[in-house]
Amino acid sequence: MIPSHPQNNQSETARAPAWQHELRQAFSRPAELLAYLGLDPATPQLAAGLMRDFPLRVPRAYAERMAKGDVHDPLLRQVWPATEEARQVPGFVSDAVGDLKRARGGGLIHKYQGRVLLIATGACAVHCRYCFRRHFPYSGQLAVRAHWQTALDEIAADTSISEVILSGGDPLSLADDKLAELVQALDGIAHVRRLRLHTRQPIVLPSRIDERLLGWLDATRLATVFVLHANHARELDDKVAQALRPLRERGISLLNQSVLLRGVNDDADTLAALSERLLECGVLPYYLHLLDRVQGAAHFEVSEPEAQALMRALSARLPGYLVPRLVRELAGEPAKTPVPW
């Protein structure tokens, strides 16, 4: 074994980008997060459940936007490992959207015509408790650097694929040298025209949009779309707005998809404020998802009739371009399924 050199390790740490330093400081213990927020751990609503398979993870930049002393804070609710997660509810399963049935190996999931989804990593900056991939077997489905060639060969061989979607986890959890390598390889596949990134990192960790990331975005020929994930207007503070600006300046399309969540955004005022704030940040509302019925998330579900009533209220008070499309994802369907209202 080669002995480690502390001074070299310190040098490597010093060269790491700011966002990686921030991730190392993320809250991972419920008691620490509650202490930071000035909340009493003896409060019944704050009893923490088991986290062995899906631990707490909250960047401090995101926790700063939570209201101190508020047990019902909508940002806290999204990340708090509530005891309700342990309830077994009929219809809530581990693979809620049927991803595993569509996996092609090498980290590829091919569900939609002309588009292929690439599972770039299993890591996220934040662990959202309603995540539809919270039980996903990432160890066998990652398109990490050692296995990207399999995915790239599959994409190159299928000329019907014009768009590659980077997902995860969160693709921006990967270091920029890895992302640059992957995107450069995609650039070399002539029939691929668009690159889409599904990411929550610019919302929960705005420092992630830095010069290194902008560098490989500048280098690609692919038309690029960022599909962000914000559920509440308070997630979009001034730091997030500033982080998104250089993306817009590069002509990158910014869309947002939200999940309709009980106790977070299940009222018309909150959803309207989210759409208005998104526009201020240069982001268009895209989808409002009914909850994917993943095991452990039943306490977040909003019924379809309630969702339909909310959409009617939104359409009465907002211009059409600020009203997201209400959809659900059904396993085996060739696209998102619109929910009429």
- Residue range 71-86, pLDDT digits in tens: 999 999 999 999 999 8
Q: Which residues contact 309 (CB under 8 A, 6 or more apart)?
A: 341
Residue 94 forms part of a structural domain: no
Q: Do 57 and 170 belong together in one domain?
A: no
Average pLDDT value for the chain: 90
Residue 5 has pLDDT above 60, yes or no: no
- Of 40, 58, 86, the position where a domain reaches its end is 86
Please tell me whether residues 256 and 325 are part of one structural domain: yes
Cα-based angle 155, 161, 162 (whole degrees, multiple of 5): 120
Question: 138 and 23 in one domain?
Answer: no
In degrees and rounded to multiples of 5, residue 32 shows phi and psi of -70, -40
* Selected residue with higher pLDDT from 128 and 145: 128
Alpha carbon distance 222, 194 (integer Å):
5
Whether 142 and 287 map to the same domain: the answer is yes
What is the number of structural domains in the chain?
Answer: 2
Question: What's the average model confidence in pLDDT over 310-331?
Answer: 95
Residues whose CB is less than 8 angstroms from the CB of residue 51 and which lie 6 or more positions away in sequence, other chains included: 30, 81
pLDDT for the residue numbered 130 = 93
58 pLDDT higher than 50: yes
Q: Above 50 in pLDDT, residue 294?
A: yes
Tell me, yes or no, whether 312 and 226 share the same domain. yes
Alpha-carbon gap, residue 253 to 91, rounded angstroms: 36
Binding-site residues: 124, 128, 131
Q: In this structure, which amino acid lies at residue 40?
A: D
Residue 38, in any domain of the structure: yes
Asked if 150 and 266 sit in the same domain, the reply is yes
Co-location of 162 and 308 in the same domain:
yes
Q: Are residues 64 and 22 in the same domain?
A: yes
Residue partners of 333: CB distance under 8 A and separation at least 6: none
Residue 154 has φ and ψ, to the nearest 5°, of: -65, -45
CA distances from 45 to 40, 42, 88, 121, 229 (A): 10, 9, 19, 33, 26
Sheet of strand 108-112: strand arrangement: 103-105, 108-112, 115-119, 163-167, 194-198, 223-228, 253-259, 284-289, 325-328, 337-338
Whether 8 is covered by a domain: the verdict is no
Structure tokens, 268: 């018309």
Query: Residue 191 and residue 188: Cα distance in Å, rounded?
Result: 9
pLDDT tens profile 68-121: 999 999 999 999 999 999 899 998 887 766 666 556 667 788 878 899 999 888
Helices (H), the chain: 6-15, 18-24, 30-37, 60-63, 74-79, 99-102, 148-157, 176-187, 201-204, 211-219, 238-249, 268-280, 304-317
Same structural domain for residues 65 and 191? no
Residue 214 tokens, joined: 């902008």
Asked if 34 and 157 sit in the same domain, the reply is no
Domain assignment present for residue 300? The answer is yes
pLDDT digits (tens, 9 = 90+) for 218-234: 999 999 999 999 999 99
Residue 6 maps to a domain:
no
Residue type present at position 293: R
Question: Phi/psi at 257 (nearest 5 deg)?
Answer: -120, 135
User: Domain boundary at 37, 62, 86, which?
Assistant: 86
The range of the structural domain enclosing residue 260 comes to: 99-338
Q: Residue 148 is part of a domain; what is its CATH number?
A: 3.20.20.70
- Residue 6: exposed, middle, or buried by beta-carbon count in 10 A (0-12, 13-18, 19+)? exposed
Nearest Cα residue to 235 out of 23, 34, 75:
75
Binding-site sequence positions for [4Fe-4S] cluster: 124, 128, 131
279 occurs within a structural domain:
yes
Same domain, 82 and 124: no
Q: End of a domain among 60, 86, 112?
A: 86
Q: Is residue 226 part of a domain?
A: yes
pLDDT tens readout for residues 143-202: 555 568 888 999 999 999 999 999 988 999 999 999 999 999 999 999 999 999 999 999
User: Alpha carbon 155 to chain centroid distance?
Assistant: 24
State how far Cα 31 lies from the chain centre. 25
Note whether residue 48 is domain-resident: yes
- pLDDT value for 153: 92
Q: CB of 194 within 8 A of CB of 224?
A: yes
Shared domain for 65 and 133, answered yes or no, is: no
Sign for the pseudo-dihedral over CA of 85, 90, 95, 99 = negative
Q: How many Cβ atoms sit within 10 Å of the Cβ of residue 111? A: 20
